Structure 1
Amino acid sequence: MGCEHPNSEGFCYSLAKDYFCFVLNRGGAPPATSKAAETLRRSASSLQTRHGRLERCVHRLNLSSLEEATRVLPRLMNEIYSDGLENWGRIVTLFAFCGSLVGDLQRKGVPEQELVEGVAHCLARYTWTHKAAWIKENGGWEKGFVEYFQQKKSSHFYARIAAFTGIVAALSFVLYQH
């Protein structure tokens, strides 16, 4: 991640790629290269492992290729935010959901490097295009995001619930249309 500015699409891509490699290597990935990457690993993996709902949602999508995933993900992401609510919990849930998706597709035989890069690119493009202004207004990745999850260790449970509500509603909609 080193040379990427924290408020850039490249930084979003690096965060996604780092998290997916962390997920696929079951924690055996190299150390995180920034506080934001470390915070994302901790918060998203906690969300991913504590709740089987993300895995069940990914399973119900029944995607079997990177092409299907990159076609469905933008619709899903748009639907997640269709109610206009934005918070760090939803962003983390989106990364956790994509982490579950990457794991599912790897188990189905999609090559890891292609998978990580493709989903990371799709997630970064969406995050940068649609959420960059909100992220900047809320302190950016290295300050706002990291501080939010440090200060809200006990109370970010509510952000998780709000995030899950958005994800489940969006998945239901996308599954219905898929």
Structure 2
Amino acid sequence: MAGLLGAYTSFLSRRPVVGNMVSSAVLFATGDVIAQQAIEKKGSKHDFARTARIVVWGGGIFAPVVNVWFRTLEKLPIRSRWPATFARVGLDQFAFAPFVLTGFFTAMTLMEGKDLKAAKAKWDTSFVPTLQANWMLFIPFQILNMLVPLQYRLLAINAVNIPWNAFLSIQNAKSKKIETVESIGKKA
């Protein structure tokens, strides 16, 4: 195990963005598989396209953006540890988290082949409860995480993201069910 952690640490120091993209993709996929298999009990009806979409989001969009974001937060010109930590967490949760969640619902809807109108409808039904849940989990976690060395912050987020990604996957799928019921109602 120590050898694996050492290899990962070495890889992160050489290729931080790629390392974070790969670990994010794997952990986002893990969250979706947990959502579909352990919570939704889909069994052989697993939606592999849904898993692929969340992998694209987690590894291809979320990880590079968050990597840049954490580096930007690290540059805040506040020298005192706790005021800097609280400033970073405040910016992360009250400025960046709404942006990321909006991006998530928009990207997932567009990857499902729908338009921006459908993305807006999904955002309208899911954004506020998802953001509130995000704050309950990530405000306390990020206070601790901002004390972790920079190169490990996204990995720490991704570890917490396994249950969070399961929740996001369910929120996204729930919005899809609402859209289906509404479209059936319009046809009737």
TM-score normalised according to structure 2 size:
0.30
Which is bigger in relative contact order (C-alpha 8 A, separation at least 6)? 1
Q: TM-score, normalised by structure 1?
A: 0.31
